[in-house]
Amino acid sequence: MAALPIQPHPSRGAWNYTIHPVTGRPVDSQAATAHHSPDHARSQALEILSDPALTGTSRQELDALTTRLAPAQAAQTEQRCYQQRGGRRRRAPGAGSRPLLGDVDRILITIIYLRQVCSQKVMSEMLEVNPTSIGQAIAATRRLLEEHRHAVTPTMLRFSHPNDLLDYLDHGITVSRPRLPEVLSDPALTGISRQELQQLTERLALRQAAQTERRRHKRRGRQRLPGTRGGIFRHKITDAERVLAAVLSQRGVCTRRVLADLLDVSPRTIGNALLDVRPLLEQDGYAVAPAGRRFSTAAALLDFVNRQQDAPPTKTPR
């Protein structure tokens, strides 16, 4: 069907269309089928995900990492297969079905996930692979990266839909929040320097992680099962954004609804973040310095920050 010259009509084009005569050389049906096969689409999606703008590393460095991890991946795969079989191999290596994701692919999607470019759900849609398989591949490869002490630095880019990711690579368009936390952390809003805010966030990091684990333990009613992981996308907003929102709220800079509009979440999410972080701020001894101005809309707050940045620096009298 994809190879046919079909022209949909303006009204109900899903079934109301015209098939034009095929002109020129006849279409190779096998080539057309291969071009539109799931394997071909998956290889194209993997090529897109390997873009240095997403991985944070060049393709040569990614190939070198793949070569370095190849022996450990092979041993890990053999151990997993041995446990699944419950004994020694019965057939020669290479016999049987091949996995949808190869060793190189598993490293790539793990790096994309650890950089927090997108969630497992987005990669599942792009690769047409079951989310369970995506999660298992990331969990296994993540352990190898940790054993080899290969650190993956998260990026500020966030994509919640495959089309958003493609628009960013093709046209530089992003609908994520790449710089908004930096804007909101302006000292004119927080009352402290960016360095002090970063230090405050780092001091609260372990307490936030422990708080999250206590909540999940209470929800599960038991210990975490062996082999499971905490994940990367623990909240709809990051821990740093939660601290930033709590600081702005404590100072009375704006309402919860304004914070929700700025961070693109619901007011309930902001409320839950404030309930979690406010006690941590009190335990840390954070002194609240009331803001001199309160903003009722997100546009007014951003306009204030822009004017602050555009204003010429004041000269200190001698």
pLDDT at 174: 64
Query: What pLDDT, on a 0 to 100 scale, did the predictor assign at position 32?
Result: 46
- What are the two backbone dihedrals, phi and then psi, of residue 210, each rounded to the nearest 5 degrees? -65, -40
Under DSSP, is residue 254 helix (H, G, I), strand (E, B) or coil? Answer: strand
- pLDDT value at position 73? 85
The pLDDT averaged over each successive group of 10 residues in the chain (318 residues) is: 78 80 55 62 91 91 92 82 68 63 92 88 90 88 89 81 88 62 86 90 83 70 54 65 91 91 85 89 86 89 82 53
**At 258, is the secondary structure helix, strand, or coil?**
helix
Per-residue pLDDT at 254: 92
Q: What residues contact 103, with CB distance under 8 A and at least 6 apart?
A: 66, 69, 70, 73, 74, 77
C-alpha dist (Å) from residue 120 to 33, 81, 103, 152, 314: 28, 24, 17, 17, 48
What is the residue-wise DSSP string for 53-82? HHHSS-HHHHHHHHHHHHHHHHHHHHHHHH
